[in-house]
Structure 1
């Protein structure tokens, strides 16, 4: 055997081990890499959706608070008891406005304007201090869009302007002061329309809420555009409020990114990749069912989308962030790949050396070694199979834990897991003599809902009510589904009186909610029984029994109510 043939045999045996294991390792790490990247991106997408929904909810909550204030100012007739006196005698109401704006700190201005369009009261909020404007400086606003749009409204209807920058003496105020104007009629007890009350809401509160929600970890940033695609929030501050300036009329998303604008056109919310950047968006329409609006916004531009939505909030994560993620994952895996490859090469070298020695040995030894090689392959295959089985079992164990602790429909605790947590609270109660309330409730006439609207509607009601109640209770409270439409809530360190207040809030919130399923409105009420526990209770069943008795009493007394268990 010459040197060339000997070298060929050694290389052949080396590649016999090295090549397949190297390729399998390469495939494995490629799959792991791609899966890791996909999982990371999926997590980012979920996080962005949650974040944008949170921002949407924050905005609606902010605006809801403002509308409550405006309705309070208009419907609290005691504020206007001096309106029939001399036109100059509005001192008491002015001071009421003064105290209101000072306490709230979110309004730039509050005004009362009479039926003729004359300002009767104006209180400005300047540099943190309220100022009652002198009578000589009050103006006639008869021709302003907000007066025309709001004076014709009925009681309880509110006009809301679009976002713009505040203007003083026909000039845009510096520094920029974004405002929203809310106005509603003032109507006395006889039904006579006296005028309007109008507040200038400081829009920086909403804009700050949005900008502060940016996720630094994901390198996300927010944009906000109005229904004509002009920027209200942009990383480049020079691009904001383009519609307010003649020289900036062309600075908008329609010109900057028409493809993104077209993608968002037909959906209320969504998520997409564009130019390798992730965009998550939601349209905000606070006008729906809550406000009466002017036919056209006050700005000097027209848009066909004004009635569909007021603003679009857009979260964007740039391409460079995803490149960074891929780079970090590659860096974590590459050194492991190198080590395993070297280990495979070492094994292959040793194997080649051994096989070469065997090649020079007798045929019998060669055959035995061949059998041993087959055994080695079988062992490696079993190892790989065992590894996969272990991974599969870990995944199933995790799924089993979730299924055993969380009710899949309502996302509340399962009965078993609730009992486990409740038992711990009973133990703490006995040991530390703490207060503890137990609340049990079910949905009134739930069977009728299933019969009349179908079981899918019933499931929807259970899921929706659970979500609402989750928002009404504390993180430390224990909320579980006991069975069917029956739920339990344990309120640790809560006296019976406080627990009853929580229960009554839940009753009121659900009763006032209208649930929409397949375009059908469904009204739902709850009956709640509540009891206080002490260290005499040894079992969960005994602790729940008193609350269940109170629930029975709530049903008996007409439903849609809270009943407290009292010892007889």
Structure 2
């Protein structure tokens, strides 16, 4: 029989485990969905930022090409008349207003600079004729001079070099050039040295609103804009030729170049958009002219949400990872559950104990601890229903002798003690399969498996125990019990069964009354 504390602990633990399992299942489902939704939300947000960045670059290129087209058309008459001073004045005005071009030049077909305007600080300066140079061997001149009418050239982005050295502080440059024709005769080219630092600064500013690390990468995998400035411009330095996005993220780079715009790997989540100068200009039909863009000039705009820190949570949806997260971050829920579980356990344990007591009262006789009459009859009915030759059973109907004498002489309290003592002596001798039921004030019935002889042997043990108690006990009464044993036979009703046992008991009681000792059966003689 479990103690109250053990029942309380078992019920409390069971409730805690049940509630915890339900909470874990709910939190696991919630956490898994939250991680997927959150990561998708981060990627969607950064995708919008990338689209904004791409649109800004598009608009920027549009304006630069519009500027280039304007310079050509507005200065064409002066070029044809070789009025270099007038062209220089026009370019100064244009440079002062735009503040975007480090240099604006007109170069003839031989590669000779005829006009060059340098932007020094915020003020444009006309370079003296003696300082003008020949650029026939420079890549931008060679690429442009080969173009047909109305074609343009946009150079790869790089850092400005003066006198063979990279200019400090860095000046990212994009050179835009267009040939100038008189009819079908090439006269020269206009070149704009666009200060790309302005565009890159805006790229970084847009990127600050992203959750991931915004990066601008060339088609060869070199960074030109990233959070880590030391990685930028690797292609410009001999010792940084291997500092590339493509080497740091080789598998991801292959997939991005292959056209994947969204990918998640063990390193994190990548979102990418390709900016193809030629395709974008063609798609947007810039200024009505054609184009010629070298392959290396394509860029990739990349957002990278690293699988680390706070974001690490979103990349591992495995069951054990989520369970660990739940116990670390939601431990307080389980503390509350422990409290609730054992509070409920206390309530339920008390309730079950009370129910048990109520059930016991309905089944047992309060005074003796034996079953009451209704429970006894119900048990006999059950035994009758199950009866077979292999399941024989018998009953012993008993009556405590002398109860009235004890009640009248010593009082009902002592009479009750006689009943309780008699019942306890009988109960001690019963086997686990036997039961004792109180059928009336001083009447008891034993229901036992086996034959009448088996039950008679049990009665002998009971009688022996009673005799021993009478000798050794100091109570004021002598215990005497009459009995009648009947073995059940097929077809016998409950009522008939009990009546036969009662009759047999009554016959024994008459014999006891006839005995010369009966006058002292109920009371001890002092």
TM-score higher than 0.5 here? Answer: yes
Tell me which residue corresponds to 1:481.
none
Tell me which residue corresponds to 2:302.
314
The correspondence for 1:83, drawn from 67, 79, 85, is: 79
Tell me which residue corresponds to 2:138.
144
Is residue 165 from structure 1 mapped to residue 159 from structure 2 by the alignment?
yes
Structure 1 residues 64, 347: closer, same or farther in 2, change over 3 A?
A: same
The correspondence for 1:275, drawn from 260, 266, 278, is: 266
Is residue 355 from structure 1 mapped to residue 344 from structure 2 by the alignment?
no
TM-score (norm 2): 0.60
Q: CA offset at residue 160 of structure 1?
A: 0.6
Q: CA offset at residue 165 of structure 1?
A: 0.7
Q: Deviations over 1:221-266 (max 9, x none)?
A: 2222211112212333222212112222222233322122122121
- Would you say the 8 A contact 1:112–1:196 is kept in 2? yes
Q: Deviations over 1:190-220 (max 9, x none)?
A: 45432111101111122112211234673x2
> Is the deviation greater in 152-161 or in 284-293?
284-293
User: Which residues of structure 2 form unaligned runs of 5+?
Assistant: 283-289, 315-321, 364-526
Distance 2:293 2:36 in 1: 47
Q: CA offset at residue 158 of structure 1?
A: 0.8
Structure 1 residues 334, 10: closer, same or farther in 2, change over 3 A?
A: closer
Distance 2:16 2:194 in 1: 72
Larger Rg: 2
Q: CA offset at residue 332 of structure 1?
A: 6.9
Distance 1:243 1:210 in 2: 20
- Would you say the 8 A contact 1:9–1:356 is kept in 2? no
Distance 2:28 2:362 in 1: 39
Distance 2:178 2:362 in 1: 100
Q: CA offset at residue 293 of structure 1?
A: 3.4
Distance 1:286 1:363 in 2: 92
Q: How does 1:100-249 map to 2 (within 5 A)?
A: 100-188=94-182, 190-215=183-208, 218=211, 220-249=212-241
TM-score (norm 1): 0.56
- Would you say the 8 A contact 2:13–2:341 is kept in 1? no
Q: CA offset at residue 349 of structure 1?
A: 2.8
Q: CA offset at residue 67 of structure 1?
A: 0.9
Q: CA offset at residue 69 of structure 1?
A: 0.9
Distance 1:348 1:69 in 2: 82
Q: Which has the higher contact order (CA 8 A, sep 6+)?
A: 2
Q: CA offset at residue 183 of structure 1?
A: 0.5
Tell me which residue corresponds to 1:266.
258
Supply the RMSD in Å over aligned alpha carbons: 2.9
- Would you say the 8 A contact 1:37–1:329 is kept in 2? no
- Would you say the 8 A contact 2:35–2:313 is kept in 1? no
Q: CA offset at residue 108 of structure 1?
A: 1.0
Distance 2:327 2:339 in 1: 18
Structure 1 residues 7, 294: closer, same or farther in 2, change over 3 A?
A: closer
Q: Deviations over 1:32-77 (max 9, x none)?
A: 222222222221111111111221121111111111111111122x
User: Which residues of structure 1 form unaligned runs of 5+?
Assistant: 296-305, 367-568
Q: CA offset at residue 24 of structure 1?
A: 1.3
Distance 1:22 1:157 in 2: 71
Q: CA offset at residue 130 of structure 1?
A: 0.8
- Number of residue pairs matched? 346
Q: Deviations over 1:346-388 (max 9, x none)?
A: 223322222222123216989xxxxxxxxxxxxxxxxxxxxxx
Tell me which residue corresponds to 1:286.
277
Structure 1 residues 145, 17: closer, same or farther in 2, change over 3 A?
A: closer
